[in-house]
Amino acid sequence: MDFRSGYRRKWSFNLIILTRFVEAPIPKTINHFDLTTHSTLAQLSIKLAQTSPTAVETQVANHSITVDRPVEKGGGGLGLMGGQHMLIGIGGCFCSTLFAAAQSRGIEVEGLAVEVSATLAEEGAPRFTAIHLGVTCQKPESSEEVEKLIAIAEKGCISINTVKSGLNFSAELSI
């Protein structure tokens, strides 16, 4: 089967970010990307450090990721922009959740490709107003199985659930 003839399902969802701070119990310190729970609160944490006048980097396990702006936007062009990393995170989370759902059901997935696209706001603060995932795959060949895996991945993906339901956001100086 040619990759381009794989099944395709499209859907869109609105991205809602709430910018209010809600006080919650402070969880114990955790290692990068380890989920630890404190009471009913789980926390995931990464640290970024400046590596150039316009870039930051994170080291997680054996992986390094640089975030920067393109030269034409005043950056050094050393990495992708934060919004691009956000889209990678959404697409990657969706894919890994889909793979886990398929594996737990004994379903073989081949040729999976996900195109993540976002619409930028025309007014107001810079933000995405919609995100769309276009999904194609060669296997499974049954469209019913593909649709089921897509639905499960959409419901189980932390990144998708976060943007669909909104979040509490805060930023503060740590001394």
pTM: 0.74
Q: What is the pLDDT of residues 111-143, one digit of tens each?
A: 999 999 999 999 999 999 999 999 999 998 888
Instruction: Describe the crossing of helices 82-104 and 143-156 by its angle, rounded to 10 degrees.
Output: 120
Q: What is the pLDDT of residues 74-123, one digit of tens each?
A: 999 999 999 999 999 999 999 999 999 999 999 999 999 999 999 999 99
Distance CA(101)–CA(83), nearest Å, equals 27
Q: What is the pLDDT of residues 25-72, one digit of tens each?
A: 333 333 333 444 334 457 888 899 999 999 999 998 889 999 999 999
Q: Cite the DSSP H helix spans in 12-168.
A: 82-104, 143-156, 158-165
52 Cβ contact list (under 8 Å, min separation 6): 68, 76, 78
In the chain, the amino acid numbered 40 is: T
Residue pair 135/150 in contact by the 8 Å Cβ criterion: yes
* pLDDT confidence of residue 41: 57
